[in-house]
């Protein structure tokens, strides 16, 4: 009888530990997801400020360079800007690259299928399919209004977003939130 009771206590203790570790993992995972989302929007804001500072026409649209209002811009607006398009595609690319061993071409086809569901307009994928060529292709489709964005800026934005997203994800895996001090989007 005593062995049965000991087994029951051990089983209940094991079950409780398992249950609480699942709960803590779910809480930690949602906290990590929120930090990743916050980082994504910070990167968009950094890129938008850079574009405003470098573009006279755009600077005039933002009240002669009144950049601080970018910080209060709603996330839904940011997502629709060129910076939102760039950062979202770059993030998708690096997440898929890290999570699987499929080719870059297959990654871009999957991203394209998803983006087509949001933006049915499309064209023929670039034959030389790279992150840069794909982002430029999507920009021509999704960003047809407003101040146009040049290829040089797109390439710079891809590099900045790639570096920041990969750095931040690495820091989160180590247990650090590098965005707490504003160090994530360099």
Q: Which residue has the tokens 């146009």?
A: 148
d(CA 93, CA 110): 10
Q: Which residue has the tokens 């060129």?
A: 82
More confident residue, 55 or 184: 55
Task: Estimate the crossing angle of helix 82-99 against helix 131-142, to 10 degrees.
Answer: 140
> Which region among 43-47, 67-71, 72-76, 148-152 has the lowest average model confidence (pLDDT)?
67-71
Cα maximum dimension of the chain: 84
pLDDT of residue 173: 47
Q: Return the domain boundaries, the chain.
A: 34-174
């Amino acid at each position: 009888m005593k062995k049965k009771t000991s087994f029951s206590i051990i089983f209940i203790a094991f079950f409780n530990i398992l249950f609480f570790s699942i709960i803590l993992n779910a809480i930690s995972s949602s906290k990590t997801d929120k930090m990743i989302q916050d980082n994504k929007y910070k990167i968009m804001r950094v890129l938008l400020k850079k574009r405003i500072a470098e573009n006279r026409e755009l600077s005039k649209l933002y009240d002669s360079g009144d950049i601080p209002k970018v910080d209060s811009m709603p996330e839904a607006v940011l997502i629709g800007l060129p910076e939102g398009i760039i950062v979202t595609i770059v993030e998708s690319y690096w997440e898929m690259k890290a999570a699987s061993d499929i080719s870059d071409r297959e990654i871009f086809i999957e991203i394209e299928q998803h983006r087509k569901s949001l933006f049915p307009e499309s064209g023929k994928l670039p034959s030389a399919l790279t992150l840069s060529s794909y982002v430029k292709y999507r920009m021509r489709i999704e960003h047809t209004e407003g101040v146009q964005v040049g290829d040089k800026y797109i390439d710079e934005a891809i590099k900045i977003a790639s570096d920041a997203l990969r750095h931040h994800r690495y820091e989160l895996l180590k247990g650090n939130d590098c965005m707490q001090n504003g160090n994530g989007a360099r």
